[in-house]
Amino acid sequence: MADEVADEEGRPLQEGEIPQIPEVKYEYLDHTADVQLHSWGDDLKESFEQVAMAMFNYMTTDITRVDMTRVHRVEAEGEDMLSLLYHFLDEFLFLFCAEPFLICRVVKILEFDQENFRIKAEGYGEEFDISKHPQGTEVKAITYSNMQVHEEEKKHDVFVIIDI
């Protein structure tokens, strides 16, 4: 559920509050009639952040045009790691598909409870504007199909198929 930090448009960012843009650690893999997002990171938290940014980048063809003027907080929970990942991405997809039509350049997880399967995160971006943001591919839904979360000593990968 989206936590309204200030109002329906989110909270405006203050000077010095804009997050640093992280290194890209995701790719798109072909999948029959859909696309598979693959992300990785130094830990599972970073892999989750990266897969959310991969989804937003897929929805516009030039994510560098997204200014970080607003921040929205989302909370997600699940029964296990896969349902947590599903709900996490679905919350951000909802922010894009309904008002405020938020497109995020950066996603930061503030709290990542892997034992109770809860996440609190913030998305930094602005309202999607077709005259400013080149339209990529519409994401209709997040799917459980072949969803994978791998957490090993030096490998933290996430795979998610999105319905396009």
Q: Each residue of 135-159: pLDDT tens digit?
A: 999 999 999 999 999 999 888 999 9
**Site of tokens 């309904």:** 98
> From CA 131, how far away is CA 145, in angstroms rounded?
34
Q: Each residue of 85-107: pLDDT tens digit?
A: 999 999 999 999 998 899 999 99
12: pLDDT strictly greater than 90: no
pLDDT value, residue 28: 82
Q: Each residue of 120-141: pLDDT tens digit?
A: 999 999 999 999 999 999 999 9
pLDDT value, residue 3: 41
Quick one: how far is CA 6 from the chain centroid? Answer: 20
The answer to whether the beta carbons of residues 81 and 37 sit under 8 Å apart is no
**Site of tokens 């072949």:** 146
